[in-house]
Chains A and B, each alone.
Chain A
Amino acid sequence: MSLKKKSREPKLPKEKKRTPARTKRRSKLGKHTMAPFLAPSIIGVTLFFLLPFLVVIFYSFVDNPVTREWVWFDNFVKLVKNNSFKRAVKNTAVFTGIAVPLAVVLSLLLAIILDQKIPGKSQFRTFFLSPMMVPIASVVLIWQVLFHYNGAVNDFLSTFGIAPVDWLKSDYAMVAIVPLYLWKNLGYNMILFMAALGNIPRDIIEVAELESANSWQIFWHIKIRYLSPTILFVTIMSIISSFKVFREVYLLTGDHPVTSLYMLQHYMNNMFKSLDYQKLSAAAILMSLVMIVLIGALFLIENHFGKDVEE
């Protein structure tokens, strides 16, 4: 990376025909020639994301879109005090808290296993990655068969004398949702970890082996250090996909899930239905702030933890 950056600086041939007056404004000129390339995307993003988001910020501070009376943080206060919002936040946070660590650890485990010399490696990779290409809607039926009151999971548990539970309608509904999330997302994470494992310089590991480090020490002191940027990326992506879990919940349980599965997106959907712009905007802004803080925090952690590997 650093090499490439350096090679960019001397761009002499380009300037041969230009007058000295123009060379000073070279960088600006370069931008102008790029304008036609950038314009469609930047205009689109501005029109469909940036401008409306500014309006969303505005809406979150006024009492309603018609009278537009400035009410400062009233909407946020109302939102935070709202019981169904609280429940939605709590459930989403619980899900993220359970599913993301599992997704990171399990996918790293799978990547490490496929990093060993075992037969059928590429087939295993294919198998683990295949759920990524299968739409959730297609496998929802199987999940219903598994986790129904009369379903296969209860059937299996009853052989151990455990009383049946109607999983999708109980407080344990997460038990049915987390595996579906993991099933769908582990392959993606695993690919990232496999690539990162493959990028660890071999000579460092060899030296460690010569120094008679055991495989646990090599893993913990070398591999994890080199993997830390990837762990960060996988964590961010897993958190983002965990916020999309509404998809799985909706397809499994419909519009009105049990309270233990009432997710943020359910709340947003209800607000859309009643067109409660204030709550919608306030929720969207809170959420985006949370995301920015979360991502920023992860970057800080990574900076602190992975500094010594990146020169």
Chain B
Amino acid sequence: MGKEKKLKQQEVPLHGIHHKRRKSLVVRTFCFIFAASFAIIFLFPTVVTIANSFMSQSEISSNYGMVFSTTDSGAKAYISKKVNIKLIPDMVSFSQYFTVLFKSPSYLLKFWNSVILVVPITVFQIIIACLASYGFARTEGKLKGIVFFGYIILMLMPYQVTLVPNYLVADWFHILNTNWAIWLPGIFSPFSVYLLTKYMKRIPRALFEAAQIDGAGEWQMFTKIAMPICKGAIYSCAILVFIDYWNMVEQPLILFTDTEKYPLSVFLSKINEGEIGLAFAVATIYMVPGLLIFLYSEEYLVEGITYQGGIKG
């Protein structure tokens, strides 16, 4: 190979190389500009939402009054004809947050609904998936292959398919309109089983064999070998499960009849009309958990996604 390279270098005239370099600089500049403009588009909605949450009600209604026209008629005098998207508030105000946190408990209640729905699902789905994925990773055979394939198919099914059986079960057990109706199918959702099995299969068999010779049972091997090795993968998986359910809309709409039980992800769309200023603050509060997780563990998220795609496998 080295020989070939030398030959090649001799063939290419000097100005050709210069030309190539200049071209690559142009390409790189173009790529950078493209990436930067995409980055602006991608950040825009999040940043504007956060910025708007620090505006006072009157500033919000003067900026967006035309869009959310149900605001009280008194404010209409200040409304400009066109919307006015601003990144920097005229005056930074925490009044929206103050109202959300201390004056109108309904938003915090809905936030709590979200927490109480999502956290148990994440925790228990991961626990059950850890056990099951250890089982799947350590068994061989046709039957296991079929069962695991079934899990993959189930994982790929959209809500239009899975919600019908979920509704039926909830109806049989009389748990419609209770949190159990969302908890139980969520806890047994096959997504984490799939992801963690993929990871656990990569643990060298020799490790388990050595432990077996030393007299370790399956449970000991599970807790002392598999779990510590999979720590990172479990965390990645938990992040993916959490954000998926934090964003849920379909399940509560169908399984809950009582709108008081709705998580904030559904409820947010219902408060848009009246209290638009508050909505921005609530929206910001709602994205905080996701963004915090993201800031502190982007690497785990990326790893989780790549394992899901089976690229490192």
Report which A residues bind B (CB closer than 8 A): 1, 4, 7-8, 11, 13-14, 27, 30-31, 33-38, 40-42, 44-45, 47-53, 55-56, 110, 113-114, 116-120, 123-145, 148, 150-152, 155, 183, 186-188, 191-192, 195-196, 199, 206-207, 210, 212, 229-230, 233-234, 236, 240, 243-244, 246-247, 250-252, 254, 264-265, 268-269, 272, 280-281, 283-284, 287-288, 291-292, 295
Contacts of B184 in A (CB 8 A): 44, 48
Q: Which of B70-78, B95-103, B227-235, B242-250 has 4 or more CB atoms under 8 Å from chain A?
A: B242-250
Contact check, B4 vs A210: say whether CB atoms are below 8 A apart.
yes
Contact check, A119 vs B32: say whether CB atoms are below 8 A apart.
yes
Closest Cβ neighbor of A30 among chain B residues: B139
Contact check, B287 vs A138: say whether CB atoms are below 8 A apart.
yes
A122–chain B nearest beta-carbon distance, Å: 9
Closest Cβ neighbor of B254 among chain A residues: A272
A137: contacting residue among B243, B254, B266, B311, CB under 8 A? B266
Q: Any chain A CB within 8 A of the CB of B300? A: no
Contact check, B8 vs A130: say whether CB atoms are below 8 A apart.
no
Q: Any chain A CB within 8 A of the CB of B134? A: yes
The interface residues of chain A, by DSSP majority, are classed as helix
Q: Any chain A CB within 8 A of the CB of B241? A: no
Interface residues of B in 257-294 (CB under 8 A from A): 264-266, 268-269, 272, 276, 279-280, 283-284, 286-287, 290-291, 293-294
Known: A210-B8, A291-B158. A127 touches B286 (CB 8 A): no
Bound complex: CA A302 to CA B98 (Å)? 55
Bound complex: CA A139 to CA B132 (Å)? 37
5 contacts between A and B (CB under 8 A): A34-B135, A34-B139, A183-B41, A254-B269, A281-B164
Contacts of B291 in A (CB 8 A): 130, 133-134
Bound complex: CA A30 to CA B5 (Å)? 55
Bound complex: CA A128 to CA B5 (Å)? 38
Q: Any chain A CB within 8 A of the CB of B309? A: yes
Contacts of A186 in B (CB 8 A): 42
B250: contacting residue among A35, A132, A206, A247, CB under 8 A? A247
Known: A116-B28, A118-B31. A45 touches B287 (CB 8 A): no
Contact check, B312 vs A56: say whether CB atoms are below 8 A apart.
no
Contact check, A144 vs B301: say whether CB atoms are below 8 A apart.
no
Contacts of A127 in B (CB 8 A): 39, 42-43
Contact check, A137 vs B46: say whether CB atoms are below 8 A apart.
no
Contact check, A27 vs B141: say whether CB atoms are below 8 A apart.
yes
Closest Cβ neighbor of B167 among chain A residues: A272
Q: What 10 A-B pairs come out closest when comparing CB atoms?
A: A44-B188, A52-B165, A37-B135, A41-B132, A38-B135, A133-B290, A150-B66, A243-B158, A138-B283, A137-B268
Contact check, A13 vs B209: say whether CB atoms are below 8 A apart.
yes
Contact check, A52 vs B166: say whether CB atoms are below 8 A apart.
yes
Closest Cβ neighbor of A234 among chain B residues: B309
Contact check, B82 vs A240: say whether CB atoms are below 8 A apart.
no
Contact check, A113 vs B35: say whether CB atoms are below 8 A apart.
yes
Q: Any chain A CB within 8 A of the CB of B205? A: yes
Contact check, A183 vs B42: say whether CB atoms are below 8 A apart.
yes
Closest Cβ neighbor of B79 among chain A residues: A150
Most central of A118, A131, A192 by chain B CB within 10 Å: A118
B309: contacting residue among A4, A138, A233, CB under 8 A? A233
B249: contacting residue among A33, A145, A247, CB under 8 A? A247
Known: A129-B302, A251-B268. A41 touches B188 (CB 8 A): yes
Bound complex: CA A53 to CA B160 (Å)? 12
Bound complex: CA A128 to CA B46 (Å)? 12
